Structure 1
Amino acid sequence: MPYETTLLIQLAVGLLVTGALAGVLAGLLGVGGGIVIVPVLFLLFDFLQVPQEVAMHLAVGTSLCTIIPTSISSARSHYRRGAIDVSLLKRWAPLIFVGALVGGLLSKVLNAEVLTLIFGFVALAVAINMAIPKTLVVSESLPSGVVGAGAVPVGIGGFSALMGIGGGTLSVPVLSAFSFPVHRAVATASAFGLVIAVPAVCGFIWSGLNVDGRPPYSFGYVSVPAAVLIFSVSVLTAPLGSKLAHSLNPARLKLAFALFLFLTALRMLWSVFGMG
């Protein structure tokens, strides 16, 4: 078998495995799988010699694209179990949508290192907060003021879009800080993932149009072949993650969430400072 064919098969298998793991994490942690997909795609595009100034944007945009079907699958599973807080979803969804759209459009003016640093530092801070024995509690209830109630979901949408992740990475610890039950936060975050991904993908597609150095079959900053291979599997494994989420106790769920965030954050920060 020619080397090029063997290489393509290995890459395809790697993306399928990534999709399977991303789906499980989407259901388990409400993260939309991006916490795994972004660094894997970043390494893949680097291996394929995609220019560094394009690779991170492409990884984020492609990850956001895969989050759309994965979040639908995960959210449906949580909804059938009655775990999604519909009232919170209705209040926060429009604001998260606006934040995600702004984040997607900002990708046109932010360079790759800035995106990577945002991903690394925000994820590291969240991981530390989730891993400490007593999670930071800001209030016994969600913010009710006009500024607080608006700034929190807008910020979640904006930063999630720039990081290429679903709603869970930020919304789960934020909701936990406001004394929101973690299982309900994870379930509702799975729906936030869809609200984030759709406008953010549109922004990354627009930002990446006519940019040089993108691999074949890219639509803006979205690699269509990579996205298809990943979400073709992730939509099948997301319900498994949802089932696991309801069988674990909150402490273990938080610890699992923190571990994945911590390892991913270190890897992404290393990719920036290591290049220096």
Structure 2
Amino acid sequence: MELVVYILILLFTGAFVGFASGLLGIGGGFIMVPVQFFLLTALGSDPDTALRVAFATSLAVILPTALSGALGHWRRGAVMVVPAILLGLTGLVGGIFGAGISSYTPAAILSFIFGLLALGSALWMLMSRYPDINEKPSNSKESYLFWGFLGGFSSGLLGIGGGVVMVPLLNILLKFPIHKAIGTSTAFIIFASIGGIITYIFTGMNATGLPPYSVGYVSLIQFVALAGTSIPMARVGVRAAHKLPDKELKYLFAALLIYIALKMMGVFQWLNLPL
């Protein structure tokens, strides 16, 4: 694969990820992880190493992208600051635990777990009723701390921001209006990604077969290419999110999750479908 093609794919992926992050309150790892994984294995990297590099670099890109998106949502009053901080505190700890386990788990198992997680979140949103939620949600601090840890754990384990878990939780279980669920999820992702990044750097310090210019499992070349386009596009996604009605946002989010789940679980490959 030529270097120019490699960089162009990363730049395009970063742009799409940034837009999805701002629009749906997700980190975009579900896009970055498979793209990086296939690029690295095409260049000859060991699959297990390639997947961990994809996870770590994905989280490194998610951090500044989430910062950009959260600022945009906050300016529009869609970030509930206190819940975001409580979720984020245990989300950071959960990210450390998740990344630590992921560093020693086979790639096939992680992909299947991610698929089940995404599919479950999608079905939960589709099957639940969507009452209009206009009042400020009232939840205990303990509930925010618990769900923050769960979201952070999934973030570190699977190289995602945690939005695929956090947006449905905030909207359906904790009764956040969908726009505030997306905005608060984006802020939570900042904390969750930090824990995973730190862990992947330390666990990857002595790893072999890493791409050039890597810090632990974080590939600096891939980070620069992906983040260079994802950060500005996150602001574009934020503007789009606040122009779409609540119901359309929910269905769009659920449709994306179903596709992600089937892709990661290998369903399309089993059926010989070019998707």
Q: Same fold (TM over 0.5)?
A: yes
Aligned partner (choices 254, 259, 262) of residue 266 of structure 1: 262
Q: Is the 8 A contact 2:89 2:145 kept in 1?
A: no
Matches within 5 A, 1:51-90: 51-90=46-85
Deviation of the 1:69 alpha carbon: 0.9
**For residues 94-105 of structure 1, what are the structure 2 equivalents within 5 Å?**
94-105=89-100
Aligned match of 2:146: 151
8 Å Cα contact 2:85/2:188 also seen in 1: no
Task: Give distance in 1, aligned partners of 2:220 and 2:114.
Answer: 22
Segment drifting more, 38-47 vs 184-193 = 38-47
Question: Would you say the 8 A contact 1:35–1:260 is kept in 2?
Answer: no
2:43 aligned residue: 48
The one-letter code matched in structure 2 to 1:51 is D
Counterpart of 2:205, as a letter, is: L
SS in 1 for 2:105: coil
Aligned equivalent of 2:230, options 227, 231, 234: 234
**How many pairs are equivalent?**
265
- Range with bigger deviation, 184-193 or 206-215: 206-215
> Please, which runs of 5 or more residues in structure 2 have no aligned partner?
271-275
Aligned-partner SS, 1:110: coil
* Native 8 Å contact 2:20 2:26 kept in 1: yes
The CA deviation at 1:230 is 0.4
Give the drift of 1:243. Answer: 0.4
2:100 and 2:49 map into 1 onto residues whose CA distance is: 15
Q: Distance in 1 between matches of 2:184 and 2:145?
A: 17
User: What does the per-residue CA deviation read over 1:10-31, in whole Å, with 9 as the maximum and x for residues that have no partner?
Assistant: 1111110100000000100111
Distance 2:194 2:205 in 1: 17
CA–CA distance in structure 2, aligned partners of residues 268 and 142 of structure 1: 35
Aligned CA distance change for structure 1 residues 236 and 72 (closer, same or farther; 3 Å): same
Q: Is the 8 A contact 2:262 2:268 kept in 1?
A: no
Q: RMSD of the TM alignment (CA)? A: 2.2
State the Cα distance separating 1:91 from its structure 2 match.
2.1
The answer to whether the aligner puts 1:120 opposite 2:154 as a matched pair is no
Alpha-carbon spacing, 1:210–1:80, altered in 2? closer, same or farther (3 Å): same
Residue range with higher mean Cα deviation, 32-41 or 182-191: 32-41
Q: Distance in 2 between matches of 1:252 and 1:264?
A: 18
**How far apart, CA to CA, are the structure 1 residues paired with 2:138 and 2:42?**
44
Distance in 2 (CA, whole Å) between partners of 1:87 and 1:143 is 11
| Alpha-carbon contact 1:39-1:264 (below 8 Å) kept | no
Letter of the structure 1 residue corresponding to residue 263 of structure 2: R
Q: Note the C-alpha offset of 1:211.
A: 1.3
1:224 Cα deviation from its structure 2 partner: 1.1
CA shift in 2, pair 1:15/1:83, >3 Å: same
Question: How far off is 1:273 after superposition?
Answer: 8.2
* In structure 2, C-alpha distance between the alignment counterparts of 1:24 and 1:145, rounded to whole Å: 31
Equivalent position of 1:220 in the other structure: 216
Shift of residue 126 of structure 1? 1.0
Please give the alpha-carbon distance, in whole angstroms, between the structure 2 residues aligned to 1:191 and 1:232. Answer: 20
Whether contact under 8 Å (2:29, 2:62) holds in the other structure is yes
Contact residue 46 and residue 52 of structure 1 kept, 8 A = yes
Query: TM-score, with normalisation over the residues of structure 2?
Result: 0.89
Q: Does 1:33 align with 2:1?
A: no
In the TM superposition, what is the alpha-carbon distance from 1:167 to its structure 2 partner? 3.2
Indicate conservation of the 8 Å contact 1:103/1:157, yes or no: yes
- What SS does the aligned partner of 2:265 have? helix
Identity %: 36
Instruction: Provide the rounded CA distance (Å) in 1 between the counterparts of 2:224 and 2:200.
Output: 17
Q: Distance in 2 between matches of 1:149 and 1:191?
A: 13
